[in-house]
Amino acid sequence: MDFALFDMDFYINYLKETGQSFEMMASRGCRGNCAFCYKFCGYGISKRNTDLLLDEIQKIIQKFGIRKIYFVDENFLDSKNDFFEFIKKKRERGMDFTFIGQARLDCIDKETLEIGKENGLTCISAGIESYSQETLDRINKAINITDVEAKIKLIREHNILLLVSFIVGFEWDTEKDFRELEKFIIRNQLEKKAKIHYLTPLPATRLYKEALAKGFIKNEFEYIRNLGDLYWERMVNMTSLSDELLDYYHNRLYNLCSKDAVYPKSERYLKLVRKIH
């Protein structure tokens, strides 16, 4: 990466002021095939060479003095062999940095958590999507909700932060579903640790095709042209509930789940925040 192409001082100082991590990708793709997800990298996973990945992290540490990395690829912890190789080579180099990794919860186990915790893993980010096994099956998430709750507990026992995401607005969602999701979040101590997304059918996904076929998207061109802040704005309502009722439950869950925002201190950043929000 030629960092000279970017205003890195501006970017790095913002990360330091807000306590955020430097974002990197260690792989592309996903082994899942969820009905709502657009697989822009195709099927399967391609991974970066571990040595080259660590070389880049060393450059970031040396050049910018930042030692917090967020691996934003969807399956950083997916392969135990690859993850353990990463840890082994990190230790051999004597590298000192903490990191966040994304994962499907079905790949998490005690050994991964123990080794990760000992070697800098501070947080796991995962998409749960729903409390309901029926919904998980219908969207082809291919996870078991009982196993998910067990993994949430296991991660908490290892003192690793878990951040998760849920989706509201599936065609079959009811008020009862939203109330049950609220109970699930509280039961699993996920308050202030979750993102609540509106279901947003994306082109080339199964749910998008269904939304077109059933008339939820009436003008395909206009729908795509007006796609805005993905997942945060309601682009379509596929439920039998009114827009106002769907928004009410979204906001209720959002207020329960969203962590407090961390604002920068410098006026040059605060101006941009005010401009956006």
For residue 31, what pLDDT band results from cuts at 50, 70 and 90? confident
Please, where are the H alpha helices in 45-102?
A: 50-64, 80-92
The listed CATH number (3.30.2270.10, 3.30.160.60, 1.10.287.130, 3.20.20.70) that belongs to domain 21-261: 3.20.20.70
> Taking residues 1-26, what's their average pLDDT?
91
For residue 277, what pLDDT band results from cuts at 50, 70 and 90? low
Nearest CA to 84 among 67, 101, 72, 104? 101
Strand partners, 162: 124
Question: Rounded to the nearest 10 degrees, what angle do helices 243-257 and 175-187 cross at?
Answer: 0
For residue 38, what pLDDT band results from cuts at 50, 70 and 90? confident
Can you tell me whether residue 47 is helix, strand or coil?
strand
Give residue for tokens 């995962």: 126
Question: Read out DSSP for 143-195?
Answer: --HHHHHHHHHHHHHTT-EEEEEEEE--TT--HHHHHHHHHHHHHTT-TTSEE
Give residue-wise pLDDT tens across range 251-263: 999 999 998 888 8
Give residue-wise pLDDT tens across range 84-95: 999 999 999 999
**Phi, psi for 121 (deg, rounded to 5):** -75, 120
Cα-based distances in Å from 25 to 57, 62, 208 = 11, 19, 27
Global pTM reads: 0.93
